Chain A
Amino acid sequence: MASTLRDRNVKLALVVDDSAMQCKVLSVLLKEEGYRVFTANDGARGVAMYIKYSPDLVLMDINMPIMNGYEAARKIKSLSQDNSLCPLIFITSMDSDQAFIESIDAGGDGILVRPFSPEVFKAKIKSIQRISDLYAQVKTLQQEQQNDAELAEQLMSGVIESRNFAIDRIGIIKKAAELFSGDIQLTALAPNGDINAMLGDFTGHGLRSSIGAIPLAETFRTMTKKGFSLFEIINQINHQLYDLLPTDLFLGAGFASISSHDESVYLFNAGLPDVYLFSDKGIIKHKTSSSHPPLGVLPKLLPDSKLTVVSIEETDRVVLISDGIVEARNEQGEMFDFSRFEESVKQGVLQQNVSKIVLKSVNDFCQNMPQEDDISLIDIPCGGWEQDLVSSQGVESFSVEQLNDISLSTESAWHWQLSLTGSRLAAINPIPMAMSQINEIEGNAEHWQSLYTILTELFVNSLDHGVLGLSSDLKASAEGFSQYFLERERRLKNLIDGSIELQISHYPFPSGGRIIIKIIDSGQGFDIKEYYEKKALKSDDTSMLSGRGIVLVEQLCDSLDFQGKGNIVEVSYVWTT
């Protein structure tokens, strides 16, 4: 009804006055200003007309029968929608402070005291309309901003959360204090089956603080997928955020890389509360405190930065949190704090739903207090990941025709090789380079995952046992495992000479191909004969911590040979399409 009467270019005014004469005078003046005018002779009727026409301006007398001007004004102001101010001016002959104060109290936007000249009246109308226009403009902008923010938020969470790995098994709490969370949770699967997870907390909240989230998520995923080590990923993220973000914007972040193969978790904490390792009974087995300023503060990671390596059991869980959980406050101003948090995780572990129990505990504690900071948590089980690797790799069996193909192909289609010497060995990881060569030449394919595993295992073997001369006996116990990594790090740092040569040749055949990998290291080698004898003896013992790398490689390849004095290894990997 009202809408059919509305022409956007014609403004509507409502005059409420019990004097027909006054109504007439004001109507004439308003019409001269281009308004279309409706009149009412008492407050109640005024309110009814207001509802019917939603005018752009209301002029209100104070003393009227049935409902006076103040009461009508209060009703109208309570009805007016959020996005229009609908200015209301009292017209009165009561020239007193009291009348002025009451008018404003009742929701009036101004008062005009009779007698006034037509010019003064028109000036007043113009000024009030100007304020009303500004108000509408602000409201429109606010609405647009809100719409944009909602759209951006949808896009953001689409890019970030929906692409996380194993969201069914990794528990995540994400409760933003505003539309945009300054917290970010990422999980991804590395080609060797390791699970990488990151919980980040950008400075502040809102859109400003989530601006770095998209490039961060891309870097984390791409590098994990390409097989870069966790440390290399952290290094790159730090560098990227330093370049990208202003000085006062940075990222507190905790990283965990769970390696079922090493039975270890690699941890790094730059500016987050402690990162936890819990047992299946909810007992704290380990805490990694922040050892580095948040990422994006320094152009390079501090020189002594390193990952913490902790032995894990399959039933353990790694839990990362942002400070929003421990700093959540209740009505008395107390913080949720670490002891309540640790107890709630314990309960969560026992009830097999850490994220749900922790969130419930925080909510119960805070009751109706408004949330001040983003609350987030990642809970990752340490076991059950190996099947992800095996199912995607599995050793294929070949038909007779295919075997003929294989034996017939003797001509190499391409050959790639890389030699690394001395300190370069500590600084450069050649595996992603090799993989990107293969991907570029042969295209991307799922079965390159196996090749990645083979290359990594062999390279690490040559580096650790060949060039660095580390004995794998150290790895025979869980405690020795950490010691092994410390020693490895020390020797890598002091590495001056030594070299590794990596050669890859590709022999295509009609429906597949063969890749020959040869790795030559400068180390002492080992007694090949003794190795095979020992291996034969140990073959039943699957629980041994060392030597599993080579066992895995043997499963994935069709042949593996140690040559020379044990410092050369050559494997053949065949696949079919």
Chain B
Amino acid sequence: MSVNKIVSDDNRKVEISVVGRFDFSLHQHFRDSYSSNNDNNVEFNLNLSETTYMDSSALGMILLLKDHAENCSGKVVISKPSESVNKILEIAQFHRLLTIVT
């Protein structure tokens, strides 16, 4: 399990990827991955292509990221969720709250 982050050269895009299980144990790592990016209009791209499992606390963490982004007039895009993760996002109807790119 790990959280990786890539920031674009112009600081406009932050890609966060979660590898393996995305659950409460990643709470601190996940928060650390975005909390220092306070610039305005940043697009946070949450890459879930290598996430094998996600629980409801992970959904909560995504909502915290969304709050953070919106406080800086930015946005969150979830990209390439794996099939099992997408199912969880679907049950939670997260596509009504965020952009999800499959």
Contact = CB atoms under 8 A, between A and B. Distances in A.
B2 interface: no
Interface string B51-63: 0000111011101
A510 to B, nearest CB: 58
Given A204-B24, A252-B56, A290-B90, A247 B97 contact: no
Contacts of B55: 373
Interface in B1-58: 24, 55-57
A294 interface: yes
B64 A252 contact: no
Interface string A16-54: 000000000000000000000000000000000000000
Interface residues of B, number: 17
Contacts of A203: 56-57, 59-60
A248 B63 CA distance: 6
B91 A290 contact: yes
A302 interface: yes
Nearest to A289: B91
A197 interface: no
B97 A297 contact: yes
A478 interface: no
Contacts of B91: 252, 271-273, 289-290, 323
A455 B67 CA distance: 45
Interface residues of A, number: 23
B92 interface: yes
Contact of A293 (B24, B57, B64, B92): B92
A248 B60 contact: yes
Interface in B53-94: 55-57, 59-61, 63-64, 67, 90-94
Given A272-B91, A273-B91, A302 B96 contact: yes
A298 interface: yes
A417 B98 CA distance: 46
Contacts of B96: 292-293, 302
Contacts of A380: none
Contacts, number: 53
B56 A204 contact: yes
A249 interface: yes
A249 B61 CA distance: 9
A289 B92 CA distance: 10
Contacts of B94: 293
A437 to B, nearest CB: 38
Interface centre among B56, B93, B96 (most CB of A within 10 A): B56
A250 interface: yes
Contacts of A293: 92-94, 96-97
B73 to A, nearest CB: 18
Contact of B93 (A201, A273, A291): A291
Contact of A271 (B61, B64, B93): B93
A204 B93 contact: no
Interface in A237-260: 247-250, 252
A248 B28 CA distance: 13
Given A203-B59, A204-B24, A247 B64 contact: yes
B84 to A, nearest CB: 10
B27 to A, nearest CB: 9
Nearest to B62: A248
Interface in A410-444: none
A9 to B, nearest CB: 42
Q: A-B pairs with the 4 shortest C-beta distances?
A: A248-B60, A203-B56, A293-B93, A290-B91
24 contacts: A201-B56, A203-B56, A203-B57, A203-B60, A204-B60, A247-B64, A248-B63, A249-B60, A250-B60, A250-B63, A252-B56, A270-B93, A273-B91, A290-B90, A290-B91, A292-B96, A293-B94, A293-B96, A293-B97, A294-B56, A294-B92, A302-B96, A323-B91, A373-B55
